[in-house]
Amino acid sequence: MIDQPCVVYLVDDEADYRFLVQQVFSIFLPGQQIRFFGSGLDLVAHLELASDQKKGTPEVLILDIDMPRMNGFQTLLQVKRHPDWQGVPVVMMTNRDQAEYAQESYRLGASAFLLKPINLNAIRDVMGFLCEHKGDFEQLPGLIRRGA
C-alpha cells in the first residue's frame, strides 16, 4: 500500500516506452507522479534549474542506459556529483543482458539495476514496487544484484 504520493523521474529517449509508462501511471498508479525526460542532457539541465529554484528531488530516478549524446552512465555520474541529488536512489535499466552493464552501474553509485520491463504488467509491477518501497529495492522485480 502506498501511503504518500511518490514522485518518479524517468529518463529514456524512446517516446514509445515513455508512453507505456505514462499509461501505467494513469491506469494503475493514478495517485503517483511521473516526470519524463527524453535525454540525460534534459535531466542535467533540470537538476541545475531545480537546485537554483530550491525545488525538491524525486523519490526515485530511473535511467535508461542506451541514450544518444549522454548515456545513462554519464547521466548517473552527473547526478551523483550534484550535492542536492547525491542521495536520490537511481535505478538503471537497459535491454542489454550484460553483466558489465550491471557492474558499471553499481560502481558509479546506482541503487539498482534491471532489464527494462517491456509489457504493461511488468512495467506496473516495477513502477508500483518503486513507489511503494522508495529506495529499498532488495525485492524489486527483475533486480540484477551486485556481482551477478
Q: Where are the domains positioned within the chain? A: 7-133
Say if residue 49's pLDDT is above 90. no
| C-alpha separations of 130 from 1, 22, 59, 92, 140 in Å | 12, 15, 9, 12, 8
Segment among 2-11, 34-43, 48-57, 99-108 with least mean pLDDT: 48-57
Size of the chain, expressed as the number of residues it contains: 148
Overall average pLDDT of the 124-129 stretch? 93
d(CA 73, CA 13): 14
- Give the CATH number of domain 7-133: 3.40.50.2300
Say if residue 126's pLDDT is above 90. yes
This prediction's pTM: 0.91
